Amino acid sequence: MLGGNAAVAQDNDGWSGEAAFSAGYATGNSETTDLGLGIDVARKQGVWTYQFVADGEYGEQDGAESQNRYLLSGDVDRQLNDKLFAFGRTSNEVDQFTGLGSRTFVGGGRGYHIYDSEQTKWTVRAGPGVKIDQVHFPVGAALMVPTDTVSSFGAVARSALGHKRNDNVKFTNETGVM
């Protein structure tokens, strides 16, 4: 699956990425504080692309923790030809305020560059994997107790569409399901 020579241009090698920070504070009938941080970096090296994503959110309402979520993921892509590529993916998401305490996914599959021009790029990918969920049981208003770990077959599907209007404006839509 990963063998063979891919005829892929190597002129875009190097690092790329983006980061985001958000913060909010509101008062009124209640006092709410929110913080968020996201990092998405990628490195292209010949026929290989490595991507790392870290995302976290934390919040308090009236002094009590109301949000505590983070996501870490890594992807490795290997171009097979100009349009087709193979990928591997692993991710771990923890959310302290849902019945699903954490979810880990390990899988891989194939992807395809549907459209790839200077202004517009559209890529899709899909494949099978293993999903491990740690299920929590609510004991009180803010207390979750781990009750069960469930492993199952999973799948991942993603679409990434981007259109560059000019040097200052770019529209993107990334949609994914697991």
pLDDT over threshold 70, residue 132: yes
State residue 99's pLDDT score: 67
* For residues 97-124, average pLDDT: 89
Query: What is the structure's pLDDT at 168?
Result: 86
Distance CA 139, CA 99 (A): 11
Q: Which residue has the higher pLDDT, 64 or 164?
A: 164
Q: What confidence tier does 6 reach under pLDDT thresholds 50, 70, 90?
A: very low
- Determine the average pLDDT of the residues in 96-125: 88
What CA–CA distance (Å, rounded) separates 81 from 111?
Answer: 11
Single pTM value for the model:
0.77
Most confident of 65-69, 71-75, 171-175: 71-75
Report pLDDT for 54.
96
| 8 pLDDT more than 60 | no
Indicate the domain borders of the chain.
14-177
Task: Give the tens place of pLDDT for each residue, 133-176.
Answer: 887 766 555 555 667 888 889 898 999 999 999 888 889 888 88
The Cα–Cα gap between 46 and 93 comes to: 30
pLDDT score of 7 more than 60: no
pLDDT digits 0-9 by tens, 15-62: 988 899 999 999 988 999 999 999 999 999 999 999 999 999 998 888
- Residue listed under structure tokens 């299920």: 135
